[in-house]
A = this chain, B = another copy of it.
Amino acid sequence: MKIVLIGAGNLATNLGKALLAAGHDIVQVFSRTVESATALAQIAGGAPVTDIEQVRADADLYIVSVKDSVLGELLPRLCKGKETKIFLHTAGSMDMNVFEGMAIHYGVFYPMQTFSKSKEVNFSEIPCFIEANDDYAHTVIADMAHELSGRVYELSSADRKYLHLAAVFACNFVNHCYAISEKILADHGVPFDVMLPLIDETAKKVHELSPKEAQTGPAVRFDENVIRMQAALLKDQPQIKDIYERLSLGIHRFSKK
């Protein structure tokens, strides 16, 4: 397929590589900045373009991977003159119907993973959630999804919103806990890599036990001496102290359910 990538961020970069490896022809890469468009075009192929009006109309598929908040402004200008083509976006929280009235065939391809430009991922293991508004779009999107990943699921826009929310907890909030941990260690001269075996085991554990069964530490033991003392260590960092207290209470409450 001839594909145009709209957006050149972390997800678009990793998806572009995977599409190229699957034998597709990336004909253009759009980004608001010439640097980003050029960087991804050099990796995935195609011509960089920064003016949405310059996006060519003869591709088969347009894949939109941009910040959700700019979609509303971008889509009418993108779809214009390409109404019979297939459009999809890759956002967890955006409804499929964002394309309604602008295109005939459209859908969603949401690869649930944390992507960074500098970190290679194995796309074939990523759970991908697809949705389409008609059979034609569905066939094209499902075929592409199965080429890229061994784990393809159908999911409605309504349920995908909750999936994305669950992913924010399991990934972004987890990573923020790592970041706070790193900061506390750095403040006391301890390198972050001493924490990696614990981080790995915590992730590995929930392959075998449910997170509720896997929980350990002062909050689930309700070891109030330790909880009070640890909160006091954070007295000069009230926002982190606040997170400490709310998560400790949350663990205690979950354990009693």
Contacts and interface: CB of A to CB of B under 8 A. Distances in A.
Contacts of A211: 175-176, 178-179, 181-182, 192
Given A114-B205, A198-B113, A203-B203, A170 B177 contact: yes
A166 B247 CA distance: 14
Copies of this chain present: 2
A112 interface: yes
A133 interface: no
A174 interface: yes
B203 A202 contact: yes
Interface stretch (A25-33, A101-109, A139-147, A216-224): A216-224
Interface string A208-243: 111111111111110111100110011000011011
Contacts of A118: 209
A135 interface: no
A172 B219 contact: yes
Given A119-B205, A166-B181, A218 B93 contact: yes
Interface size bracket, A side: 35 or more
A163 B190 contact: yes
Given A169-B180, A172-B216, A243-B246, 15 more contacts: A93-B230, A119-B214, A127-B198, A161-B229, A162-B190, A163-B185, A174-B177, A174-B178, A174-B203, A175-B214, A179-B210, A180-B250, A182-B210, A192-B210, A192-B211
